[in-house]
Amino acid sequence: MRVLFIHPFGSNWIEGTKDKVLLANRSAPIGILSIAGFLMKRGVEVDILNCTAPVKLTGTEETMRRVQSFRPTLIGFTTTTSSFLDAYRQAEEIKRIFPDIGIVFGGVHVSALREIILESFPCIDFIVSGEGEKAMAGLACGEKPETIQGLIFREGKQVRSNGLRTDLCELDKLPFPAYRKLEGFPKFYEPPLFNCPRVPAATIISSRGCPYQCSYCDRSVFRRSFRFNSAGYLYEHMVFLKTEFGVRHIFFYDDLFTFHRSRIEEFCGLLRKRPLHMTFNCAVRLGHIDDDLLKMLKTAGCWMVSLGIESGDPEILLRHKSKVSPDEMRTAIKQIQKNGLRAKGLFMMGLPGETESTIKRTADFIEKLELDDMNMTKFTPFPGAPVYKTIHEEGTFKEDWELMNCLNFVFVPKGIESKERLEELYKQFIKRFYTSKNWIRKFGPLMFKSPHSTYRIIKNLPGFLKIRKDFEPH
């Protein structure tokens, strides 16, 4: 059997502007690469199409050309909320010309909405809800749909669900993601600007699930379990990326990279005993960092640590994030920097309960933190997040899936007078950070610490100047 995986481009733009996101960041689709590697190990022939533009704008010509040449038995789409409709447009065209090809959708959006998707979108034959490797392998190897855990499928005019998968993957037994199937890897996949000292860079996700339940976080795929790769597996994964692709920096995109202390101790020990001369970034959470751990990360090659802060307002944090306070965040940032690591704060604007006062409090808080980097996303109420159930009681919600990408305000809390005002506050916030004395003081040395980022800015200067103009308050 042949399986074609398609990663749709979706909508990565800010409403009313041209898409410029890829100038600053382009990530490899690790989820489908993992499933592809799992299937290849079982003898399934696999191909991957990573779309570089939305078919809403470019049409389906490239998709149909790949389907025609590869002739797959199954086509698997992985989608977020914002990319779902773009993927479905491709599925409709595929079904029109090749009606016998099975269409499978997976990912966080369909895992949250489950049967609703099949009831509303007739060109989809199967939904893989949750972890995808074993369910896709079952389909690809000809198992009967009714026997595959985690599968939602059509039986005549009825939609049937086999429930949640309980037979989960043992992560250390998974093959490495099928990077070789990804055209242009790793050079085509540019990391976020000034987020690493050297390229090429690559992404590793070394754990699945999270035991916490923040109000805004969708846990539909891996739920609240927590599983992780061993230190030895991580080390060999880095060796593979360096040896096969020349990768020099790793982004560990785990929510809780330091959650299991002994794993990190062993991992850092391996990197010290058998140096790979690679650097890496990771995310940490309050309660799972201390000076000894941060020193270990630094000596093992860690360059930057991210911390999910979300807000500088105590009431917003109390309502939406588990067991944290601004004072604890402030202490953690200083602790990270004291140990020679760059500290990046991750924030979110527009949560239920947000007001102009809470936004100002967060802006003042950030200024005092003296962060090395910052990312502010726009709160998006995703279907699988706890807050989604009551979101219409909290403000005005325009549920336009294609705009639900954390780059647009689709929700306006009651405490903000309008979407336009919220956008204005966001632009003021961004400008304040990137014109602050703290950022200006750190930016000069950073241009030498991350020379590839400096080169990209110079090479694409007109595009970056347009991005800057987009964030200018009116």
Q: Residue 24 pLDDT more than 60?
A: no
Query: Residue 209: is its pLDDT beyond 60?
Result: yes
Two tokens, residue 148: 């595959």
Q: What confidence category does residue 465 fall into, taking pLDDT thresholds of 50, 70 and 90?
A: low
Handedness of CA 267, 270, 272, 276 (dihedral sign): negative
- pLDDT number for residue 14: 66
Q: Is the pLDDT of residue 53 over 90?
A: no
Closest CA to 112 of 225, 221, 226: 221
Q: Token pair of 452, please?
A: 């590839």
- Considering only the top CATH level, what class is 2-161? alpha beta
Between the alpha carbon of residue 469 and those of residues 31, 279, 371, the distances in Å are 34, 33, 24
Q: What is the pLDDT confidence band of residue 16, given thresholds at 50, 70 and 90?
A: low
Confidence grade of residue 473 (pLDDT, cut at 50, 70, 90): low
Rounded to whole angstroms, the Cα distance separating 180 from 173 reads 19
Cis peptide before 314 (omega within 30 of 0): no
Name the amino acid, one letter, at 449.
K
Indicate whether 21 pLDDT > 60.
Answer: no
| Residue 137's pLDDT band (cuts 50, 70, 90) | very high
Note the pLDDT tens digit of each residue in 339-378: 999 999 999 999 999 999 999 999 999 999 999 999 999 9
Report pLDDT digits (tens) over 234-264. 999 999 999 999 999 999 999 889 989 999 9
Query: Which whole number is the average pLDDT over 61-65?
Result: 96
What's the chain's average pLDDT? 92
Rounded to an integer, the average pLDDT of 69-77 is 98
Cβ neighbours, 10 Å, residue 161: 14
Q: Which of 407, 471, 348 is nearest to 21 (CA)?
A: 407
Provide the β-strand partners of residue 34: none
| Distance separating alpha carbons of residues 20 and 27, to the nearest angstrom | 14
Predicted local confidence at residue 107, as pLDDT:
95
Write the pLDDT tens digit of every residue in 182-196.
Answer: 999 999 998 999 999
> What integer pLDDT is reported at residue 5 of this predicted model?
98
Q: What pLDDT is attached to residue 214?
A: 87
Cα–Cα distance measured from residue 182 to residue 90, given in angstroms and rounded to the nearest whole number: 19
Residue labelled with tokens 């049409």: 59
What's the confidence (pLDDT) of residue 468? 63
Tokens of 25: 């960041």
Q: Most confidently modeled of 316-325, 415-424, 450-459? A: 415-424
* This model's pTM is above 0.75: yes
Q: Homologous superfamily of 191-470 in CATH?
A: tm_1862 like domain (3.80.30.20)
Whether residue 79 is predicted with pLDDT greater than 70 in this model: the reply is: yes
CA distance linking residue 7 with residue 166, whole number of Å: 26
**Phi/psi at 206 (nearest 5 deg)?**
-105, 5
Give the start-to-end residue ranges of the domains of the chain: 2-161, 191-470
For the segment 445-466, the average pLDDT, to the nearest whole number, is 85
Give the residue-averaged pLDDT of 166-190.
Answer: 95
Lowest mean pLDDT among 302-306, 368-372, 466-470: 466-470
Confidence of residue 20 (pLDDT cuts 50, 70, 90): low
Angle 396-402-406 (CA atoms, 0-180°, nearest 5)? Answer: 65
